[in-house]
Structure 1
Amino acid sequence: MGSLGQHLAIDGAGVMPVPSIVEQVAAIARNELAPLACGIDAGTVYPADVLRRFGEVGAWSSHVPEDGAADLNCAIDAIGAIGEVCGASAFMAWCQNTLVWYVANSSNETLKERLLDDVASGRLLGGTGLSNPMKSFFGIEKLKLKGRKVEGGYVVRGALPWVSNLGPDHMFGTIFEREDAPGEIVMFVADCADPAVTLQPCQPFLAMDGTGTYGIQFRDLFVPDELILADPAGPFVKKIRAGFILLQAGMALGLIKDCIKIMQEVAAPLGHVNRYLPQQPVDFRALADELATETAILAADPYNTDETYWRKVVALRLRAGEASVAAAHAAMLHCGARGYLKGNRAERRLREAYFVAIVTPATKQLRKMLADG
């Protein structure tokens, strides 16, 4: 598995281990991302250069399918390594990996030829505009984008309230409903550089303002056939949906690991009183190990079409979001007043944890999905 193994290189001194993708990502996160974390949280920094550095060492390419099979474990572990340092950047890593997942799974060879190498290497950054469509599939919202067939492609109009990991030279995948064939959906890649696409800054969030998140307006955007991911998109969504959700586990696992570290760091000065708190680091280590083990099993088989498998993916995502909030809550209680200071890592982690619980698919949507069967 790419996340665990090490390759060997030979130099003058003999056989030397070459760090795995995840080890290289972790090193970049510690050395280059960590100093930016507070600025990303505050919205003064969008870490485009670091995201490209992650791409250079393979963070965005490990889950590209080979011979019809894919394994998401290395990608999830890399997101986790980023998330141990910065939850906002782990979210952007998920956005980038999800865009790669869309492009890599498309049967549109022209699109893959044009985009796959660039998005998988990080030369082209981007995200996913599937929050509204994912809600629409489960009866929570109606699709906000409409498209009509024209020669050589479609013309799309409408607006999306939040799409992340974007900039003026970025791209993202999303879905519209055909006006000329109600109920039929088409998935495509939108180019932010197109004059018909407007990026509108959002109101400040509770956290993670440096994630390149914008409201998007499409004013009769022409989408050429070479940017169509799937038409019709229904079967394609079923193919990529497990990967879409499983990749989010990296955000939760990285955050939980750092919350455990926070609790351990205050054990020396506060352990004499923290031992009375009901949740201890050992509890979250066991929970994190359990979630990681289940994630690894499911992530090795993302094309599984069995309904039982799908329910396991949804249930895992629900547990991961709830565990993130629980771990961050416990870290705050272990820190006490020092954690309540603005800028303290514990208070940032608490705000980031709520995001893991509400980003699509949110806790309430996941519970609805399980209840609806």
Structure 2
Amino acid sequence: MNVATSLTAYDFDEIDRISREDLASIVQKIDEDRIYAEDVMRAYGKAGAYGTHVGGPDGHVDLSSAVLAMARTSEECLSTGFCVWCQDTLAWYIASSDNEFLKTEILPKVIKGEALGGTGMSNPMKAMGEIEKMRLKGTRVEGGYTVKGLLPWVSNLVEDGYFGTMFHVDVEGEASPKRVMAIFHAGWEGIKLKLDHDFVAMGGTATCNVQCRDVFVPDEYILADPAMDFVKRIRPGFTILQCGMAAGIIKNCIELIEQVEAPLGHVNQYLDKQASDLRADYDALVAEVLELCKTPYDLSDAFYLRVLKARLRGGELAMEAAHWAQLHMGARGYVSHGAAQRRLREAYFVGIVTPATKHLKMLIAQLER
């Protein structure tokens, strides 16, 4: 089922215009005042940014357009680029499921930017890797589950938004609980949102702690029960999509270096990395990512290993490019409104957002055993 065809037309020129004009003009406010660019996020939906990757496992799905749109956003502002990833991932969960109710009733609103939301999978991803404990616990009741717990760091989340997450359910006679994945609505009874923006960057991401007090999750909102086979289905796309954030910030950092070649090139030439070096690495990364985008439902370990390595390289290169951009720009990039210092702070987010650098290295090591 491809609901996107009749709902939105992908218009990269309009995505570019929104990024260049509407988003670029408020980047300082996003960074310093931690405002959430809600109007921009909804405008991207109207331009088709969220509807190119929702054909489902039985359709022809290519993540390239989604990644390139996210990259264009991230060239200007990684906070908003991350929110685009959240929105894309919410759509990815629903489109990848077998739940016709969610595909019919919720997915079209997500694609068009009418409903905003994200992924509450940071904690579950870490829990599955035995890095931390699962924060949400569910109990089976008639017609669904009741869920309680505190879920940290759910981004792109507004009061009437949606998010996908996972909870544990104890099973009688089983030593381990099962995992269930579902879509939650932020306005349901028992849910309380608290903004959590105490970061050195990425403050304009509508990131919340979500408290669940016996929240009823109807069966109609269940993505997978049990969830593990579904997680294997969605994890390559979940991870590939993040490369859009990396690509965008890397490209902009290269451009920052090029901007000061005329005034500072005579001394910057002695730095170990030049724009041309980083551009070669960037081109190689983008080529690999776009190739991986063609088959996001490949469930083989060999493919997932390539995905993890590309995502790891993206985070490492983002931090490296931002480091060299700061050194090339010198003091002019180190002032409070300097682009280089903002990009440096943002780039480290690519290295620590789930799956973080250390998590990626752990997963790669496990697959290479």
TM over 0.5: yes
Which residue of structure 2 aligns with residue 188 of structure 1? 182
Which residue of structure 1 aligns with residue 51 of structure 2? 61
Could you tell me whether the CA contact under 8 Å between 2:78 and 2:249 is conserved in 1?
A: yes
Which residue of structure 1 aligns with residue 112 of structure 2? 121
Which residue of structure 1 aligns with residue 332 of structure 2? 338
User: Pairwise mapping of residues 256-271 of structure 1 onto structure 2 (< 5 A)?
Assistant: 256-271=250-265
Could you tell me whether the CA contact under 8 Å between 2:49 and 2:69 is conserved in 1?
A: yes
Instruction: Check 1:333–1:304 CA distance in 2 against 1; reply closer, same or farther (3 A cut).
Output: same
Could you tell me whether the CA contact under 8 Å between 2:44 and 2:50 is conserved in 1?
A: yes
Work out which of the residue numbers 101, 107, 131 in structure 2 matches 1:110: 101
Structure 2: stretches of 5+ with no match in the other structure:
1-8
Say whether 1:224 aligns with 2:218: yes
Q: Secondary structure at the match of 2:106?
A: helix
- The one-letter code matched in structure 2 to 1:86 is C
Q: Secondary structure at the match of 1:259?
A: helix
Q: Once the 2 structures are TM-superposed, how far is the Cα of residue 69 of structure 1 from its aligned partner?
A: 2.9
Q: Secondary structure at the match of 2:312?
A: helix
Could you tell me whether the CA contact under 8 Å between 2:10 and 2:49 is conserved in 1?
A: no
Superimposed CA distance per residue, residues 215-239 of structure 1 (whole angstroms, 9 cap, x where no aligned partner)? 1110000000111111111111100
- The one-letter code matched in structure 2 to 1:50 is V
Distance 2:10 2:295 in 1: 22
User: Pairwise mapping of residues 148-159 of structure 1 onto structure 2 (< 5 A)?
Assistant: 148-159=139-150
Distance 1:177 1:238 in 2: 17
- The one-letter code matched in structure 2 to 1:286 is A
Could you tell me whether the CA contact under 8 Å between 1:127 and 1:173 is conserved in 2?
A: yes
User: Pairwise mapping of residues 94-173 of structure 1 onto structure 2 (< 5 A)?
Assistant: 94-173=85-164
Q: Once the 2 structures are TM-superposed, how far is the Cα of residue 203 of structure 1 from its aligned partner?
A: 4.9
Which residue of structure 1 aligns with residue 30 of structure 2? 40
Which residue of structure 1 aligns with residue 273 of structure 2? 279
Q: Once the 2 structures are TM-superposed, how far is the Cα of residue 40 of structure 1 from its aligned partner?
A: 1.3
Could you tell me whether the CA contact under 8 Å between 1:42 and 1:208 is conserved in 2?
A: no
User: Pairwise mapping of residues 74-93 of structure 1 onto structure 2 (< 5 A)?
Assistant: 74-93=65-84
Q: Once the 2 structures are TM-superposed, how far is the Cα of residue 44 of structure 1 from its aligned partner?
A: 3.6
- The one-letter code matched in structure 2 to 1:171 is Y
Q: Secondary structure at the match of 1:79?
A: helix
Distance 1:46 1:272 in 2: 40
- The one-letter code matched in structure 1 to 2:164 is G
- The one-letter code matched in structure 1 to 2:165 is T
- The one-letter code matched in structure 2 to 1:51 is M
Superimposed CA distance per residue, residues 275-298 of structure 1 (whole angstroms, 9 cap, x where no aligned partner)? 000000001111110000000111
- The one-letter code matched in structure 2 to 1:367 is K
User: Pairwise mapping of residues 6-45 of structure 1 onto structure 2 (< 5 A)?
Assistant: 21-45=11-35
Could you tell me whether the CA contact under 8 Å between 2:171 and 2:177 is conserved in 1?
A: no
Q: Once the 2 structures are TM-superposed, how far is the Cα of residue 21 of structure 1 from its aligned partner?
A: 2.6
Distance 1:201 1:51 in 2: 18
Which residue of structure 2 aligns with residue 7 of structure 1? none
Distance 1:62 1:44 in 2: 29
Distance 2:132 2:22 in 1: 39
Distance 1:114 1:232 in 2: 22
Distance 2:68 2:33 in 1: 25
Superimposed CA distance per residue, residues 300-358 of structure 1 (whole angstroms, 9 cap, x where no aligned partner)? 10011111111010011111000000000000000011111112110100000000000
Distance 1:234 1:299 in 2: 22
* TM norm structure 1: 0.93
Distance 2:82 2:116 in 1: 13
Q: Once the 2 structures are TM-superposed, how far is the Cα of residue 183 of structure 1 from its aligned partner?
A: 2.7
Q: Once the 2 structures are TM-superposed, how far is the Cα of residue 20 of structure 1 from its aligned partner?
A: 6.0
Could you tell me whether the CA contact under 8 Å between 1:146 and 1:177 is conserved in 2?
A: yes
Q: Number of paired residues?
A: 355
Superimposed CA distance per residue, residues 50-96 of structure 1 (whole angstroms, 9 cap, x where no aligned partner)? 10100001100011116433110000000000011111110000000
Q: Once the 2 structures are TM-superposed, how far is the Cα of residue 22 of structure 1 from its aligned partner?
A: 2.5
- The one-letter code matched in structure 2 to 1:366 is L
Q: Secondary structure at the match of 2:76?
A: coil
Distance 1:44 1:372 in 2: 38
- The one-letter code matched in structure 2 to 1:34 is A
Distance 1:159 1:70 in 2: 34
Distance 2:34 2:132 in 1: 32
Q: Secondary structure at the match of 2:130?
A: coil
Q: Once the 2 structures are TM-superposed, how far is the Cα of residue 37 of structure 1 from its aligned partner?
A: 1.0
Structure 1: stretches of 5+ with no match in the other structure:
1-18
Could you tell me whether the CA contact under 8 Å between 1:43 and 1:211 is conserved in 2?
A: no
- The one-letter code matched in structure 2 to 1:54 is Y
Could you tell me whether the CA contact under 8 Å between 1:173 and 1:189 is conserved in 2?
A: yes
Q: Once the 2 structures are TM-superposed, how far is the Cα of residue 42 of structure 1 from its aligned partner?
A: 2.3
Q: Once the 2 structures are TM-superposed, how far is the Cα of residue 137 of structure 1 from its aligned partner?
A: 1.4
Instruction: Check 1:256–1:266 CA distance in 2 against 1; reply closer, same or farther (3 A cut).
Output: same
Q: Secondary structure at the match of 1:147?
A: strand
Distance 1:301 1:198 in 2: 38
Which residue of structure 2 aligns with residue 322 of structure 1? 316
Distance 1:236 1:90 in 2: 26
